[in-house]
Amino acid sequence: MSTSLKLLTKPIKQLAKTAIYNYYSFSFDKIQHPNKILLILGHMRAGSSLLTHILNTNPEISGFGESHLRYATGEDFKELIYQVHRTLNKWQPSEKYVLDKVLHDSYLIDENLLISNKICAIFLIREPKETLPSLIKINPHKKWDEIKALRYYTERLENLEKYARLINNKNRALAVTYEQIIENTEQVFKTIEKFLDLKNSLSEQYEILPTTGTLYVGDSSENIKTGSIVRKKYKIPRY
């Protein structure tokens, strides 16, 4: 490709991106637009990547993982809609919910947005016994020890409690644990289906996404790439 053609291609791509973003911005502002925002509010190593894949496989929900957006105004939700459809290459919005997961306190959510009827939230947590060792294992480059892992975990739970109190509406907030998803899958699926008023059932088998296994978007382990829930197999002790 010639230099002049390369120089021309870049602004064309930018124009296309702007046009698509403006389309979704306009659509989101329309009263009849079907999109609602579904947030998975949790902490690292709580199974949010697994839940994201399960939810995204349902045709009524679209999401790919962690967008790393900060939600200060409604404009940021328009950016989420654009990011999701661009990443999944879905340019005909037909879903009921657009999904994002927020796992860090640094990605703040404005209180006024949380009380909006446009937002539903699934709070996802995991027991500390399994979470803390996992946090230390995935953060060797940050030199996480028990103290750092515990600090992140407790501070995140405090912020999740704050978010839950702000929403304070059982029709827009649901609490689920990782242990429930793994050990009581069918009942959890039924609860989520009812909460979101889904017409299509959730399944343990899920679609592999372009971002599956991508670092900083979600779980980068091999388990998430299997396309199904992976349960630990415990050895039965002998007496």
Comparison of pLDDT for 22 and 226, the residue scoring more:
226
Please report, for residues 54, 83, 152, the alpha-carbon distance to residue 175 in angstroms, rounded to integers and kept in the order given. Answer: 16, 26, 20
For 172, the token pair is 């827009």
The CATH number that applies at residue 71 is 3.40.50.300
**For the chain, what is the domain count?**
1
Q: Look at residue 20 and tell me if it is in a domain.
A: yes
Specify the pTM: 0.84
Taking 50 as the threshold, does the pLDDT of residue 16 lie above it?
yes
Q: Look at residue 231 and tell me if it is in a domain.
A: no
For 87, the token pair is 């990443």
Taking 60 as the threshold, does the pLDDT of residue 37 lie above it?
yes
pLDDT at 143: 83
Nearest Cα to 84, choosing from 19, 37, 30?
37
Q: Look at residue 235 and tell me if it is in a domain.
A: no
**pLDDT band, residue 32 (cuts 50/70/90):** very low
Number of H-type helices and E-type strands within the chain: 8, 5
Taking 50 as the threshold, does the pLDDT of residue 2 lie above it?
yes
Q: Residues in the chain, how many?
A: 239
For 183, the token pair is 């050990």
pLDDT at 27: 56
Distant-in-sequence, close-in-space partners of 68: CB < 8 Å, separation ≥ 6: 107, 216
